[in-house]
Amino acid sequence: MNQVPGHFINNYLLYAMPSDLPESDFLEFSKFLLKELDEHDMKYLILDYSAYQVMDKTEYERCSALVRKVQIMGVAVINHGLNAGVVSALVELVDDFKGMRFTGSLEAALAIVNNNG
């Protein structure tokens, strides 16, 4: 799987989450993203989920696991770009959103980053 670089801006990295990846490709993407964060001094990672038309519980859990790995590295994660259909399905399927921070738009995510430096 070829990796598309994220956008490094000031103290954050903006990355579009790829959808519909087989498990092995998602693990490769995860390793790539963690390496990117390790090589740069980022305070925030903004993950954009706008490519997702559907997300089941398994997909959410692997995204959530990636977020936890990033947080353990000391990088705050802001998730954005989930459409209304995905949000509705996740609320029905997922019992615990603990540790996950969501915003309704990229502008809201950037406001958090800019207000917290």
Domain that holds residue 45: 8-116
pTM: 0.87
- Residue-wise pLDDT for 51-77, tens only, equals 888 888 888 889 999 999 999 999 999
| pLDDT over threshold 90, residue 93 | no
Number of domains in the chain: 1
Query: CATH number of the domain that 37 lies in?
Result: 3.30.750.24
Helices 23-39 and 57-72, axial angle in degrees (round to 10): 20
| 33 in Cβ contact with 66 (< 8 Å) | yes
Q: Is residue 1 part of a domain?
A: no
Q: Is residue 2 part of a domain?
A: no
Q: Is residue 44 part of a domain?
A: yes
Q: Indicate the burial class of 115 (C-beta count within 10 angstroms; 0-12, 13-18, 19 or more).
A: exposed
Q: Which two tokens stand for residue 20?
A: 């519909």
